[in-house]
Amino acid sequence: MPRRGKILLARHALAQAGARPTEARENKNSQATAPAFTKRDIMTGIKKFMLSAALATLFTSGGAFAAEDTIKIGVLHSLTGTMAISETTLKDTVLMLVDEQNKKGGVLGKKLEAVVVDPASDWPLFAEKARELLTVNDVDVIFGCWTSVSRKSVLPVIEELNGLMFYPVQYEGEESSKNVFYTGAAPNQQAIPAVDYFLNELGVEKFALLGTDYVYPRTTNNILEAYLTSKGIAKDDIFVNYTPFGHSDWSKIVADVKALGADGKKVGVISTINGDANIGFYKELAASGITAEDIPVVAFSVGEEELSGLGEGDLKNLVGQLAAWNYFESADTPENKAFIEGWHAFTGNDKRTTNDPMEATYIGFNMWVNAVTEAGTTEVDKVEEAMIGQKFPNLTGSTAEMLPNHHLTKPVLIGEIRADGQFDIISQTDPVPGDAWTDFLPESAVLDSDWKDLDCGMYNTETKTCVQLKSNY
């Protein structure tokens, strides 16, 4: 620094520290000069100024972090619209995890700061909000999305800007982005095992595949139709129906499902209905007097949160109906007990339920913390490398591992609805590795994903080539 700059800095330090100069003195022309600081004055003033600045930083940051020393966490979940019933809880989950991590000292000595936006169940708005998080808010990672259409909307943005997102909900597979870690279930960790349960344990002979009209139900049902056909189920015994988001009039569809059993064959429903439409569907089942013994239903998007929207009377009629997930709140483990207690303490409401996507968020968040710590940075490419192979205890008694295809190992659980809106776990497997590409669609059976050794999410095992590095949007 030039000498003049040093002098100005020293004078500023002295003024801030309240130092007083020596008395004015006469120059050789007997004219009074400005008050002068001695070298000792200057050194003392600088020390006082630096101490004051350090104390100010300490106290204005709550005693733990500097105000500017933060790592920003983007939270991209719908707080309004048809998906708010499911996604608001995930926003709260991320806020709880951020709060808990800050109490542990943050990450890399820095405080975590959550940046929450509301894409409002509007799929194009998800892309806009993702871009805003990455370019305006400068977040280091995003936790977000529920529906596959919202995730597909976000993919081009995060791949263009090299962002990082953790996606916590079961989905249709057929995707593996370098910029996404999929902590929810792939079809082989939920849909296929649920169908096997219907076939092997319940003797279902006819299948009604009911879904909301978007990419997840349609792709999942394409996989399930192929799988059921391979198991000897005739195409005429597979009924497929799609309804829009927010659908409320279920009387005709439920009547059609009921009529499928007119020939005496046992009918089962595979439900990929999403959002608040589930409430109307289950209410219509109850109103029609359909029990789990008559027509079993296994849902892939109904958990404790959705059941909390039903009254006691409706729940009573749904006892015994099923859901396939990788976690239920009723899991009896020390880890789950601690998680639930932490959730109730954070929300101040011991009636708030937990569910599968919350556990997926919990696992992904903690793996991200450990990967950032291991990498020593939040830089996306280095964190992506450190994420592969990360292990973290799940809440059901085993350990989750992040695979090179950016999917987790997850146990498969089948639960029966209880009268209190919880689930009895009636079946649980060991952790199953998630498949990015299904074995039951010919065009996908030849594909593999390996971001560690092949550096490719869509690798053709027959031609030994990487088909593409960017995702299909």
pLDDT category of residue 473 using cuts at 50, 70 and 90: low
Asked if 143 and 91 count as a contact pair (C-beta separation under 8 A), the reply is no
User: Cα–Cα distances in Å, from 184 out to 286, 324, 357?
Assistant: 29, 12, 7
Which pLDDT tens digit goes with each residue over 354-367?
999 999 999 999 99
pLDDT of res. 236: 95
Please give the residue that has the higher pLDDT: either 120 or 6: 120
Q: Token pair of 72, please? A: 């920003």
pLDDT of res. 62: 39
Asked if 281 and 309 count as a contact pair (C-beta separation under 8 A), the reply is no
Q: What is the pTM of this model?
A: 0.82
Using the predicted structure, report yes or no on whether residue 46 has a pLDDT greater than 80.
no
Average pLDDT of 326-337?
98
pLDDT of res. 308: 84
Distance CA 324, CA 412 (A): 7
Using the predicted structure, report yes or no on whether residue 204 has a pLDDT greater than 60.
yes
pLDDT of res. 167: 98
Average pLDDT of 4-32?
40
pLDDT category of residue 65 using cuts at 50, 70 and 90: low
pLDDT category of residue 210 using cuts at 50, 70 and 90: very high
pLDDT category of residue 14 using cuts at 50, 70 and 90: very low
Neighbouring CB atoms inside 10 A of 351's CB total 7
Asked if 383 and 164 count as a contact pair (C-beta separation under 8 A), the reply is yes
pLDDT of res. 9: 40
pLDDT category of residue 176 using cuts at 50, 70 and 90: very high
Residues 6+ apart with CB under 8 A from 276: 82, 85, 246, 309
Distance CA 94, CA 92 (A): 5
Using the predicted structure, report yes or no on whether residue 77 has a pLDDT greater than 90.
yes
How does the average pLDDT of the chain come out, rounded? 88
pLDDT category of residue 56 using cuts at 50, 70 and 90: very low
Q: What percent of the chain has pLDDT over 90?
A: 77
pLDDT category of residue 10 using cuts at 50, 70 and 90: very low
Using the predicted structure, report yes or no on whether residue 423 has a pLDDT greater than 70.
yes
Q: Which residue type does 126 have?
A: F
Which pLDDT tens digit goes with each residue over 136-175?
999 999 999 999 999 999 999 999 999 999 999 999 999 9
Q: Token pair of 333, please? A: 């483990």
pLDDT of res. 42: 44
Which pLDDT tens digit goes with each residue over 272-322?
999 889 889 988 998 998 999 999 999 998 889 888 877 787 788 789 999
